[in-house]
Structure 1
Amino acid sequence: MNTILNVVMSFLDYLSRLGEFKSIDVFKQAKGRNFKGFLHHVNKGRYQKNVLKLRVKKKQIRTLRSKEVKQIIDACHTKRDKLILMLMYEGGLRIGEVLSLRLEDIVTWDNQIHLTPRDVNVNEAYIKLRKERTIHVSKELMSLYTDYL
C-alpha cells in the first residue's frame, strides 16, 4: 500500500512541478527527536512526518519446531548430511561457516567448535562475520562428528 501511495505522490509532485496541478501538503510537523544525526544542523530541529504513510506490521517468521528438525535430520541418508544440518541447527552456523570448517577447528573433548576466518579455502566457502568465535555444542553432535570421521 505504501508503494502505491509513494508512486501516486511522486506523480502528483511531477505534475505540480510542471504547473498542471496544485501541490498537496501531506506532511505535518513532528516533534523533535533525541537522536541528532550527522546533518542535524540542516533542519535545525524541524522534522516532517508523512501523514499518508501507513504503519506496516512486521511479520513474525515461523521457525521450525524441534520435531520438524528431527524429521528433516532423520530423512538424511548420510552422516555427512546429518552432521551439516545438526551444525546449522544446534550451533546456529551459516552454510558458509559449516563448509569452511577444518579438522583442527573442532575440539571434541571440550565440545567446542572454533570458527576461524580464512582468506584461502579450497571450496571457496567463507565466514560472513570476519571474526573468530567459539561455539559450544552438545555431546550428541560431537559423537555424530566422531562417527562421521
Structure 2
Amino acid sequence: MSLPARAEAALTAFTQASGWEQRARLLMHWGEQLEALSSAECNETNRVHGCESQVWLIGEHSGEHWRFRAASDARVIRGLLAVLLARVEGLSSAELLQLDLDAWFAQLGLGRQLSPSRSNGLHAVLQRMRALATGQA
C-alpha cells in the first residue's frame, strides 16, 4: 500500500531526525499544523474515549475515501494525531481496517517513545476511525 503524500513527508522528516529530541520538536511542529476544530465540534459526540487527554475526532467521507480532523488539549498528542492523520488521509474503509498503527509509529522512530497510555489512546483514535468508516459509530 503506497503512502499518502503527507505521510511520505512525515516519514522522510522523522527518519532524517538524528534523535528523540529532534523527533519531539518535529512532533510539536506537526501538532501546530493541525487544522483547528471549532468549539462546537469539540463536543461529547466527537470525543474519543480511551484517551487520557481529551481528543475529538471528526470523520468525513467523499465516495470511498476518508478525511479526518482531530484536536487534543495535549501538545504531544496533537503531534501524534497529526502524523496519524497524515497516514490515514484518503484511505478507504477497507484500508483503514488493515492499517498497522504500531508499524507506522515504529517507521517514524516514535514507537519506543510512546508510553502505554499514549499508545492505548492512539489505538482508541484508530478504533473510532474504523467505527466511523464502517458505520458503527
Q: Per the shorter chain, which TM-score range? A: under 0.3
- What TM-score do the two structures reach when normalised by structure 1? 0.26
Q: Which has the higher helix share?
A: 2
Larger Rg, first or second structure (1 or 2): 1
